[in-house]
Amino acid sequence: MADTFDVIVIGGGPGGYNTAIRAGQLGLSAACIDKRGSFGGTCLNIGCIPSKALLHASERFHEAHSEFAALGIKATVELDLPAMMARKDKVVGELTKGVEYLFKKNKVEPIVGEARIVAPPSNGNLGKVEVKGKDGTRTLTAKSIVIATGSDVAKLPGVTIDEKQIVSSTGAIALKDVPRRLLVVGAGVIGLELGSVWRRLGSDVTVVEFLDRITPGIDGEIGKAFQRVLTKQGFTFHLSTKVVGVEKGKSGLKVTVEPAAGGERSSIETDIILVAIGRVPYTANLGLEGVGVALDKRGRVVTDHHYRTNVAGIYAIGDCREGPMLAHKAEDEAVAVAEIIAGKPGHVNYDAIPSVVYTFPEVASVGRTEEELKAAGIAYKIGKFPFTANARAKTISATEGLVKILADAATDKVLGCHIVGPEAGNLIAEVALAMEFGAASEDIARTCHSHPTLTEAVRQAAMGVEGWTMQM
Ligand code: FAD
Ligand code: NAI
């Protein structure tokens, strides 16, 4: 086992493992260190993958339970939660094993243990990283060190997460029983995705959100349509509201809330609380202070456009630096940083990073929202198309939602696309690609799309930018 590498990557999530694999592909020797014991990071172990496995299973359960009859199918449906959880764990296990396979294929050395940078690469000396593993401490050296240590759950002051009654996303993907009542703090992506899982399995779900809207940051019109759909599905929303205290009682939890702006307090009784108020960069015990790596006010590692920190030879990517906390953003930065370290021109286009909320219907967006364009004083045109007028959506009984395309008023260049509707997460890829190529809305409008598909809704919205939508 060599102790010297071209690149040492700290963190084995989508940022870290993809950096190491791309470095291996480019002929660099690479080690990837993770303290978790299983590679894949937050995403594969406790994030994207287990949550999507449960979203899929719970959606099928709900469909079989509540929608089969309308399709002319008679079925007796019963929930087997332990089996649903076991399948989720199996999916996670297979994917984390897949990362190990890719490491082997690309000659990456996986190392399990907690890493700390003890010396930066400087003046021709190699950087040093100490790894505390179960077999003791090992010191590794490298020309380049990449920090890809990800993020952790943001804590709600005064509320202690025990991962049993008061859970973060980690506890919420592993509950042993369906709670009768679930209170979600934070109407963001995690709250609404995992809230959907438990709502479909039978919980009464109440969401307390500090702001006056759900999923802040997404296009306002799409956000409102999304909230209407979730409300129809049985979610109860308390917007502009904050949690000020939680008391544990014999029959559950008593949550005291008050208006965000202050005012009269009230209480909500619940069985389980999911705290989902965001995530914070994770760089604890990494030795950053010792080697002088700068963090910003929010605790994120400061980097330039080439992912270089202020210390030569040390780079940072993924959730621990600025930008959306998304697996595919971390992955793209991983490829770019490995290419930059190998002397190639690595690059990420931050204007075309899609984001998806995997509820039903899904919500997906890429580029700028209408509010952002207004604030920036950019003149734009809009094309919209509702799924009620899409033939495929009718055939699959999924007509809720719309596609909205925003294009530059002068050049017709696509500036953003926002979708709430079936398969929105897949539909957005076409627009992300169009934006990557600098396409105009007319390019999408004049591209032949198969019939009957949901993709036609995207095309019709693009046609709507110039006012020649046809299928309505
Ligand atoms: P991480 O995946 O967090 O990996 C960092 C790794 O570093 C961890 O495994 C940690 O153990 C390790 N580490 C930290 N410090 C050290 C150290 N000192 N030594 C050794 N190892 C260390 N994103 C999406 O794009 N799509 C989704 O559907 C999605 N769903 C999500 C659902 C949930 C419930 C959550 C919580 C997140 C979800 N995300 C999703 C976000 C996504 O998981 C993150 O954006 C992504 O994992 C970030 O990748 P990363 O490599 O930067 O960090
Ligand atoms: P989030 O930032 O999406 O949402 C947090 C919500 O909590 C916001 O609406 C915020 O206004 C609210 N909030 C903050 N403080 C509050 C308080 N004290 N009381 C009530 N509400 C409060 O964060 P979330 O949902 O925790 O997810 C964390 C990150 O994980 C996200 O940034 C997201 O990028 C990533 N993620 C991505 C997924 C995806 O791509 N599908 C799925 C899950 C997570």
Does pLDDT of 471 surpass 80?
no
Q: Token digits for 455? A: 């993709």
Model confidence at 472, pLDDT cuts 50, 70, 90, reads low
- Does residue 319 have its Cβ closer than 6 Å to ligand 1? yes
In this prediction, residue 123 carries a pLDDT of 84
Does pLDDT of 301 surpass 70?
yes
In this prediction, residue 250 carries a pLDDT of 83
In this prediction, residue 1 carries a pLDDT of 65
The 3-state DSSP class for residue 89 equals helix
Which ligand is nearest to the Cα of residue 184, counting in written order? 2
Tracing tokens 């389980």 back to the chain, one arrives at 272
In this prediction, residue 190 carries a pLDDT of 98
Calculate how far, in angstroms, residue 228's C-alpha sits from the geometric centre of ligand 2. Answer: 19
Among 169, 189, 209, name the best residue to mutate to test ligand 2's pocket (greatest count of ligand atoms within 8 A of Cβ).
189
How many Å apart are CA 421 and CA 393, to the nearest integer? 9
Of residues 83, 136, 86, the one with CA closest to residue 112: 136
Q: Whose CA is nearest to atom 30 of ligand 1?
A: 48
How many Å apart are CA 151 and CA 279, to the nearest integer? 6
Model confidence at 11, pLDDT cuts 50, 70, 90, reads very high
Calculate how far, in angstroms, residue 301's C-alpha sits from the geometric centre of ligand 1. Answer: 15
Of residues 126, 336, 361, 110, the one with CA closest to residue 228: 361
**pLDDT 10s digits, 199-224:** 999 999 999 999 999 999 999 999 99
Model confidence at 41, pLDDT cuts 50, 70, 90, reads very high
220 in the Ramachandran plot: left (φ > 0), alpha (ψ -120 to 50) or beta? Answer: alpha
Ligand 2 site, CB within 6 A? 156, 185-191, 193, 208-211, 216, 242-243, 276-279, 324-326, 355-358
Calculate how far, in angstroms, residue 340's C-alpha sits from the geometric centre of ligand 2. Answer: 31
Of residues 260, 257, 279, the one with CA closest to residue 268: 257
- Does residue 132 have its Cβ closer than 6 Å to ligand 1? no
Active-site position among 305, 306, 347, 451: 451
In this prediction, residue 124 carries a pLDDT of 87
Calculate how far, in angstroms, residue 465's C-alpha sits from the geometric centre of ligand 1. Answer: 38
From the number of C-beta atoms within 10 Å of its C-beta (0-12, 13-18, 19+), residue 133 rates as middle
What percentage of the chain has pLDDT greater than the value 90? 97
**437: which residues sit within 8 A by CB, 6+ positions away?**
none
- Does residue 188 have its Cβ closer than 6 Å to ligand 1? no
Q: How far is CA 76 from CA 59, 61, 65, 68, 268, in A?
A: 16, 11, 8, 10, 34
**pLDDT 10s digits, 92-123:** 999 999 999 999 999 999 999 999 999 999 98
User: Mean pLDDT throughout 424-439?
Assistant: 98
Which amino acid type is present at position 259? Answer: P
Q: Indicate if 328 belongs to the active site.
A: no
Does pLDDT of 251 surpass 90?
no
Which amino acid type is present at position 455? Answer: T
Give the largest Cα separation in the chain, rounded.
73
Does the CA dihedral 7-11-14-17 come out positive or negative? positive
Q: Token digits for 119? A: 């010396």
Model confidence at 249, pLDDT cuts 50, 70, 90, reads confident
How many Å apart are CA 365 and CA 378, to the nearest integer? 19
**pLDDT 10s digits, 351-408:** 999 999 999 999 999 999 999 999 999 999 999 999 999 999 999 999 999 999 999 9
Helices (H) and strands (E) in the chain, counts: 14, 22
How many Å apart are CA 147 and CA 60, to the nearest integer? 39
Calculate how far, in angstroms, residue 277's C-alpha sits from the geometric centre of ligand 2. Answer: 5
Among 149, 280, 303, name the best residue to mutate to test ligand 1's pocket (greatest count of ligand atoms within 8 A of Cβ).
149
Which ligand is nearest to the Cα of residue 237, counting in written order? 2
**36: which residues sit within 8 A by CB, 6+ positions away?**
12, 45, 112
**29: which residues sit within 8 A by CB, 6+ positions away?**
2, 4, 5, 6, 7, 107
Element spanning 459, H or E: helix 455-465
Of residues 409, 406, 454, 398, the one with CA closest to residue 434: 406
